[in-house]
Structure 1
Amino acid sequence: MDVKSVLPRDAIPSVDDPSYEPVSEYAGDPGDEVVVVDSVASPTRRADGTASGGSVDGDPARAFPIRYLHYHEVCNAVVDEAPVAVTWCPLCGSAVVYERTVRTPDGERVLEFGVSGKLADDDLVMYDRETESEWKQSLGTAIAGSLEGTDLDVVPAAMTTVGAFRDSTPDGEVLVAPGGESEAASDTDEPAPIEYDDVPYEAYFETAGFGLDAHRGTGDGRDWNRDDLAPKTVVLGVERDGEALGFPLDRLEANGSVAHATVGDRDVVAFATPDGVHAYENPGFAFERTVEPGTYVADGARWSGTTGESDDGRRLERLPARRLFAFAWQDDHGPDAFWAP
């Protein structure tokens, strides 16, 4: 693992006191990407293996716009009364939500995360303000400090669009623009006032190169020695019982936009929809795509790939997963950890 210091600590400021507004009041574009956290607790399960509902405590689902996270990368939030960290690394395209409560030999403790200014294999290194341990964002593992070797629990979350979130969850809430200054808004290592309408990583997302050098224009980035996947192919990674399987978006699209697989002891179905990739526990159904993009039929019902909901009132259980680029998934899990039809 290659760890390097790039910026001063907190030059990219985390969001530590978030506030929210109704999704109907969001002034941005409906196509803006968001990370959505519905419920930290597992939904009540039906006899057929599907889930009966979302947030058990009645809290609204909350969406965190990527155009804000570009400038903050970490939001320390509370969902369903559970402390969570909504994390985003632009270089790795990695959106992962973690529980902030960790188990230590001295008992449970709640951590607050910030941006360390370091990268590990071009991935964000977070630090916690309680112990100053450092954590690789895409793995959720402490790589240095007194908590080294500790793993954070992944929370089920979705990366979708504001429009899709508004349609499926009209009573949902969206993070209010935090404001302030960030190094991501600057041409130097010093923070500058944030303009959220700017897209600081637009050119990086459109080029083939990957990594810090590619973003800064100081080189083409790292080598990529495979031609079956592009390094910045979007992947949704699922881990269970020591097994890891990443579902590449382009492979799903070429396979009827659906994949059936087993990861550890869980049967998984993954969907490629117009707004992203989504993975759920499969109760044993055989899903097939319909002519309407993002919808599937199985067990006598029509299902939404984005929400996991059926037209007869059932709901699939969304799995804890990591959305990231292929190169970052391969860095963490090796070249063979990708689903193929």
Structure 2
Amino acid sequence: MNVDAVLPRDAIPSVDDPSFGRDYVGDPDDEVVVVDGAAVGGTAGVDSGDGGSEEAPPPARAYPIRILSYHEIVNDAVGGRPIAVTWCPICWSAAVYDRTVGGRMLTFGTSGKLADDALVMYDRATGTEWRQTTGRAISGELEGERLRTLAAPVTTWKRFAAEHPDGVVLQPVRGGESGSGRSARDAYDMRPYERYARSGEFGLYGMRGEGRRRTWDREDVDAKAVVLGIERGDEAAGYPVDHVEAAGGVVTDTVGGLDVVVFAADGRTGVFEDPGFAFETREGTVRGDGATWDPTTGRSSDGRRLDRVPARRLFAFAWQDAHGPDSFVGT
């Protein structure tokens, strides 16, 4: 693992006091990371109508990639559960972690370092450095510890708004300042990142033209193929989305003793516990056990819901950097 210092610590500022609303400054097809309170185990007290209260999951939250690209880390809490919503623009890596380690709540910032071109975070309590693509501490007091990955799919803002009518979205923290003449949309311009995503280069060199120019020597999967990665114990399995689509949109597997099903249909993806019945995709729709199923939410047309499996989404080169060339499934 190569660790390089690229920027000063916190040169890319994390969001430590996030605010949420109903309106979004970007486009309908912009991607967002979704945190569903029910999926991460967060709860919020609601009036039960008899003077008491009952626990209900808080509204789903959307964290736009447009905003994350300029901050990379959002320290948040959902239903009382501390979480870190993280994004590495170089690795195109979305991962949400529980911020509690050994009973201590951590707050994360950007270290200014890259580990094999992946964001290195640090926690402000101990200064320990953490690799974003794995959630592992790579140096410092907590070296060897691992953050718990939480379920957080990626979808478009348009789909999020339709699927979560009560949902809220992270609000911008820059742009629109008095006298600046710059809108929030301008402050979070995605064009540089989109150019990188489309280019044939990858890594820091591909993003900024700096550092070593990397090569890719395999033909079964592209360096920038989007991968859904699962880690359970010492096992890791990465599913290139285009391979899942080529397999009919549904792949079943066992990772760390857990039976899983991976969906990729109509531009939507998801990883869930395998319920034990067969699925198939027809005309972009997942069907199984007499119902249709949403590939991202795991909800069925008859009210059932699949149990989500925590996974991360990232480019293939970053998954290989973290887990080796034999960690892909279906290649």
Taking structure 2 as the reference length, the TM-score comes to 0.90
Residue in structure 2 matched with residue 223 of structure 1 by the alignment: 215
Q: Given the superposition, is the C-alpha separation of residues 100 and 194 from structure 1 closer, same or farther in structure 2, using an over 3 Å criterion?
A: farther
* 2:30 corresponds to which of 26, 29, 32: 32
Partner letter of residue 252 of structure 1?
Answer: V
* 1:255 corresponds to which of 247, 263, 267: 247
> Is the contact between residue 237 and residue 321 of structure 1 (CA under 8 Å) also seen in structure 2?
yes
Residue in structure 2 matched with residue 199 of structure 1 by the alignment: 191
Residue in structure 2 matched with residue 189 of structure 1 by the alignment: none
Taking structure 1 as the reference length, the TM-score comes to 0.87
> Is the contact between residue 179 and residue 194 of structure 1 (CA under 8 Å) also seen in structure 2?
no
Describe the superposition over 1:235-263 as per-residue Cα deviations: whole angstroms up to 9, x where unpaired: 00011232111110110111111111111
> Is the contact between residue 265 and residue 286 of structure 2 (CA under 8 Å) also seen in structure 1?
no
Question: Which deviates further from its counterpart, 208-217 or 10-19?
Answer: 208-217
Distance in 1 between the 2:266 and 2:65 partners? Answer: 17
Question: Which deviates further from its counterpart, 252-261 or 129-138?
Answer: 252-261
Q: Given the superposition, is the C-alpha separation of residues 140 and 194 from structure 1 closer, same or farther in structure 2, using an over 3 Å criterion?
A: farther
Give RMSD over aligned pairs: 1.9
Residue in structure 2 matched with residue 324 of structure 1 by the alignment: 314
Question: Residue 306 of structure 1: CA displacement?
Answer: 1.5
> Is the contact between residue 70 and residue 200 of structure 1 (CA under 8 Å) also seen in structure 2?
no
Identity %: 56
Question: Which deviates further from its counterpart, 112-121 or 242-251?
Answer: 242-251
Structure 1 runs of 4+ aligned residues shifted over 6 Å read none
Distance in 1 between the 2:212 and 2:280 partners? Answer: 40
* 2:160 corresponds to which of 158, 162, 165: 165
Distance in 1 between the 2:92 and 2:325 partners? Answer: 18
Residue in structure 2 matched with residue 123 of structure 1 by the alignment: 118
Describe the superposition over 1:179-220 as per-residue Cα deviations: whole angstroms up to 9, x where unpaired: 17xxxxxxxxxxxx9711343312211111111012112478
> Is the contact between residue 269 and residue 280 of structure 1 (CA under 8 Å) also seen in structure 2?
yes
Distance in 2 between the 1:41 and 1:4 partners? Answer: 33
* 1:311 corresponds to which of 291, 294, 301: 301
Residue in structure 1 matched with residue 281 of structure 2 by the alignment: 289
Summarize the alignment of residues 39-188 of structure 1 with structure 2, pairs less than 5 Å apart: 39=37, 41-42=40-41, 57-103=56-102, 108-179=103-174
Alignment partner of 1:4 is 2:4: yes
Distance in 2 between the 1:279 and 1:123 partners? Answer: 23
Mark the runs of 5 or more structure 2 residues left unpaired by the alignment: 43-54, 176-184
Question: Residue 59 of structure 1: CA displacement?
Answer: 0.6
> Is the contact between residue 67 and residue 199 of structure 1 (CA under 8 Å) also seen in structure 2?
no
Distance in 1 between the 2:313 and 2:4 partners? Answer: 23
